Structure 1
Amino acid sequence: MNAITPAADDPATLLVVDDDRDIRLLLANSLGARGYRVETASNTRDMDDILAKTPVDLVILDVMMPGEDGLSACRRIARQDGPEVIFLSALGDEQDRILGLEVGAGHYLPKPCSPREILATVRAALRKRGAMPAAEGDVYTFEGWRIDLGSHELFDPDGVLVGLTDGEFAVLRVFIERPRRVLTREALLAAARGPDSDAYDRAIDVQVSRLRRKLRSGGDEIIRTVRNEGYLFVPRVQRA
């Protein structure tokens, strides 16, 4: 394990998990030079040790590693409402990328990948995590659910906190701000991830599918698919 701490005030902390030492050093040096605090681990066991001791904002995770693979590790991180995950993997087929998103990653970069592209993705992921400012009390309700856009918290009708990944929250926020309107995949993608996103339509389908599972309540349809058009958030949304 290795840590590089740049001379910066309260920098974001990144964790690079890859069994390739050269990749760990390359990313630690290139991202550290940009002002980030970078921790590195060669396997998920060391990753868990770091996460237990250090507040981490973002994990850059390989898929194929000895022992537990990155997909399994990402599932655990998502279940525990852990930091945002970027996959960086030699497995770059469409199905591999879709699977990475389905297990909870916010971004998936195929190797080889330039340090500049990795840096841009890191910045986008960190903006997504913290660039949705909302005034205190910016709270909305729908069908008994309650969402706080300021604290990024969603509560079900029984008052139980529901864990959402950053990607899921970004998509839900778009629905909350544009209820009862048909939104195309392109509009959802641009609003949730920015107009310069290189993600593909299926990424939004994955996020919407995960949201549907988490928003199931008494069989009521909350997100409706509008054939050949996009998605519609069905409930009426009210400011609390």
Structure 2
Amino acid sequence: MTEQRQHILVVEDDPATQALVSAYLKDAGYTVSVAASGEAMRQVMARSRVDLVLLDLNLPDADGIQLAHALRRQSRMPIVIVTARSDARDRITGLELGADDYVTKPFHPRELVARVRNVLLRAGTKPVNGSVVYRFRGWELDLVWRRLVNPDGEQVSMTSTEFDLLAVLVARAGQPLGRDALLEATGQPGREVNDRSIDTLISRVRRKLGDTRGGPRMIETCHGHGYRFTVDLE
């Protein structure tokens, strides 16, 4: 079986820098996608797995620091910030928000490739890891942009708590999760919420998934153990 190449997403709005970095990464054996904006980044992540993001901070439609923060909140995918901002405060902020490395322009492309390789090695990233989009039975769950898309391509409205609950169940597919773990995952550890409250929340998520009693459950009740997401991820 042929090993899948690691996929690097270059988020950079300067065409010359984008082309130069992409060429060096491809020569080093990586699969490369490019995006010139935050929205383009989201589109790439929605349709393919990404193992590492090279993120410029100065984008036309979004602040790179905020994008890095959103990525890190929802994923352990490696992030390398590449920017002309050389101020120490920007560097510290980027690293504190969870970036794995911070490279200032101008830089030598070979140095950047070496940094990418080292970050991937430290992260122990395998070719198919680092995805922030889960896919199952035609559904897509986007952890960065916090949206659920049904098989018809329509976005399903969810509350923040519903999304967090589904996200933790999908991320640990096949594993029973107790009510305490589900409370913690939805940002409510220690809150006085009875078992019926979690059951009600599960029922709401099931309805939005079309997970009815007419067929095998996507979210299965494990009596005495909580709930389990039963569907294999694609």
TM-score range (shorter-chain normalised) is: 0.5 to 0.7
- The yes-or-no answer on 1:50 pairing with 2:41 is no
CA displacement at 1:131 relative to structure 2: 7.0
Tell me the percent identity.
Answer: 35
Q: Provide the residue aligned with 2:123 in structure 1.
A: 129
2:77 matches 1:83: yes
In 2: Cα distance, 1:56 partner to 1:12 partner: 8
Give 1:32's aligned amino acid.
Answer: K
SS of structure 1 residue aligned to 2:45: helix
Q: Is the 8 A contact 2:5 2:29 kept in 1?
A: yes
Residue of structure 1 equivalent to 2:58: 64
Moved over 2 A (4+): 158-163
TM-score computed with the length of structure 1 as normaliser: 0.52
Other structure's SS at 2:99 match: coil
Q: Which has the higher contact order (CA 8 A, sep 6+)?
A: 2
The Cα of 1:19 is off from its aligned counterpart by 0.6
**SS in structure 1 of the partner of residue 115 of structure 2:** helix
Residue aligned with 1:11, SS: coil
Partners of 1:31 and 1:160 in 2: CA distance: 40
TM-score with structure 2 setting the length: 0.53
State the 1:124 CA deviation: 0.9
- The corresponding residue for 2:87 is 93
Establish whether residue 102 from structure 1 lines up as the match of residue 96 from structure 2. Answer: yes
Partners of 2:183 and 2:123 lie apart in 1 by 18
Give 1:159 deviation, angstroms. 3.9
Q: Paired residue for 1:38, among 27, 32, 40?
A: 32
Contact 2:8-2:33 at 8 Å conserved across structures: yes
Q: What does the per-residue CA deviation read over 1:22-54, in whole Å, with 9 as the maximum and x for residues that have no partner?
A: 111111111001100000000010000001111
Q: Could you list the runs of 5+ residues in structure 1 that have no partner in the other structure?
A: 1-7, 133-150, 164-215, 218-240
Match for 2:52: what amino acid? L
Amino acid of the structure 2 residue aligned with 1:125: V
Q: Which amino acid aligns with 2:112?
A: I
CA 35–161 in structure 1, closer or farther in 2 if over 3 Å, else same: farther
Unaligned runs of 5+ in 2: 127-171, 191-234
SS of the residue corresponding to residue 97 of structure 1 reads helix
Computing the radius of gyration from Cα coordinates, the structure with the larger value is 2
Q: 2:98, 2:114 → 1: CA distance?
A: 20
What's the C-alpha RMSD, in Å, of the aligned pairs?
3.0
CA shift, 1:160, in A, is 5.8
Distance (Å, rounded) in 2 between the aligned partners of 1:82 and 1:51: 14
